Structure 1
Amino acid sequence: MMKNMVIYLLAVNFITFLLYGDDKSRARRHAWRIPEKVLMGAAVIGGSIGALLGMSIFHHKTRKPKFYIGIPLIMLIEFGLAAWVWYTGGHF
């Protein structure tokens, strides 16, 4: 179970990072853009680290409060959930 979760998180963060890079490239070429809800959604499903890295490395979406506040907030929530699952075994 834990191995599957690690694989999932690595994959979703890698894909999210690529999405941010691709969207930045599209912005420079004035091409069709990846919707913001897709970029945020990728962070919400576990890709917040990839989103934050993508924002930082590609200098993308760094001026939008929705992103520079939202992505770190999503990451804190995800880390909190991960800590809860780790320490409680996911039991209520």
Structure 2
Amino acid sequence: MLPMFSLYLLVVNILLFSWMGIDKRRARMHEWRISERRLWITAVIGGALGGWAGMQVFRHKTKHTAFVIGFPCLVAVHVLLILYFL
């Protein structure tokens, strides 16, 4: 069960990290964007660390207080939940 959960977390975090980069590129090119709702849902279901890393690497959503505070808080919640269930 643990390897499957680890794989899930890896995939979700890579996905959100990638979406942050894609959305930043699309924003610069004035193209269709990935919705904030989709970014948040992906963060809530386990991808917060990837989203937070994407914010730092791509300098994306760094002026949005909800993202700047929310993603690190979600990372903390996810870590606490993982520790609790282990």
The answer to whether TM tops 0.5 is yes
| In 1: Cα distance, 2:77 partner to 2:49 partner | 12
State the match for 1:89 in structure 2: none
Amino acid at match of 2:3: K
SS in 1 for 2:61: coil
Amino acid at match of 2:51: A
Unaligned residue ranges in structure 2 (runs of 5+): none
Aligned-CA RMSD value: 0.6
Answer with 1 or 2: which has the greater Rg. Answer: 1
State the match for 1:2 in structure 2: 2
Q: Report the Cα offset of residue 35 of structure 1.
A: 0.6
Q: How does 1:5-84 map to 2 (within 5 A)?
A: 5-84=5-84
* 1:42-65 CA distance string (max 9 Å, x none): 111100110011000000001101
Amino acid at match of 2:44: V
Amino acid at match of 1:81: L
| In 2: Cα distance, 1:38 partner to 1:73 partner | 18
Question: Normalised by the size of structure 1, how large is the TM-score?
Answer: 0.91
Q: Report the Cα offset of residue 11 of structure 1.
A: 0.5
Question: Normalised by the size of structure 2, how large is the TM-score?
Answer: 0.97
Unaligned residue ranges in structure 1 (runs of 5+): 87-92
| In 1: Cα distance, 2:38 partner to 2:51 partner | 11
